[in-house]
Chain A
Amino acid sequence: MTAWATGALLLLGAIFALLAAVGIVRMPDVFTRLHASTKSATLGAGLSVLAVAVHFGRLEVAFLALLVVAFLFLTAPVASHMIGRAAYMAGARLWEGTVLDELRGHYDLRTHELAGRPEEAPAAESDGEAGRSGSGPDPGPAIAGDASRER
């Protein structure tokens, strides 16, 4: 019985990992690749570690396995968010089929802080083709002063 459960969990985890790898090869964009790889690979690794817990069936092994799963599930969103933010700041190209970039014009690219306010979004949007580089001169210095005081 436990052998069946172990095999099923292992195979499911391996299939999810393969799904993540296919996604990272096939997707057209950094952000879609991130979307494809992070979630399903984390699920695959979590399922394989759960298979270890089921296979041994002892309390201390199960505790360690749950610790590994909790650590994976806590750190994967943080890491993927940081990669995505860094790629956006570095000016990663979006896929040409992208219909909406809600962050466009909201970041002060010099201090990497959120500079635009939501009610200013249409103004920044219609401001012209400068787009992400022209994030409004007014909030820039104040935010920069705050950032330099924080660091």
Chain B
Amino acid sequence: MTTIDAAFALFGASLLLAFGRLVRGPSLADRVVALDLMATIAVAMTATQAIAADAAVYLGAALALALVAFLGTIAYARYIEWGRTRP
């Protein structure tokens, strides 16, 4: 078992734990926090895949994933705060 496999296993375990909070979270804010954590872990897993496949192009995918996760989190936060009443 190489170091990369161990890192993938740890990232997968944390992804599963965050998914448990996503399923169980009592409020919508808990689920958004869990989704944000899962997106951050996905960025880290993309970086790990860049090392595993020895291809640096995965870094662009990591950057795009981080950007989309940030925008999604902001949109969810505005939805929680204002609902549908105000834009």
Contact = CB atoms under 8 A, between A and B. Distances in A.
Interface of A: 6-7, 10-11, 13-15, 17-18, 20-22, 24-25, 30, 33-34, 37-38, 41-42, 44-45, 48-49, 51-52, 55-56, 58, 60-61, 64-65, 67-68, 71-72, 75-76, 78-80, 82-83, 85-87, 89-90, 92, 112
B40 A72 contact: yes
A55 B4 CA distance: 12
A14 B10 contact: yes
A82 B41 CA distance: 20
Given A21-B37, A52-B56, A89-B81, A14 B63 contact: no
Nearest to B17: A21
A93 B60 CA distance: 39
Interface string B49-87: 011000010111011001100100110111011100000
Secondary structure of the B contact surface, majority rule: helix
Contacts of B58: 52
B7 A24 contact: no
Contact of B47 (A20, A49, A86): A49
Interface residues of B, number: 48
Contact of A24 (B3, B27, B28, B37): B37
Interface of B: 3-4, 6-7, 10-11, 13-18, 20-21, 27-30, 32-34, 36-37, 40-41, 43-44, 47-48, 50-51, 56, 58-60, 62-63, 66-67, 70, 73-74, 76-78, 80-82
Contacts of B63: 64, 67-68, 71
Given A14-B11, A18-B14, A72-B66, A90 B56 contact: no
Nearest to B37: A37
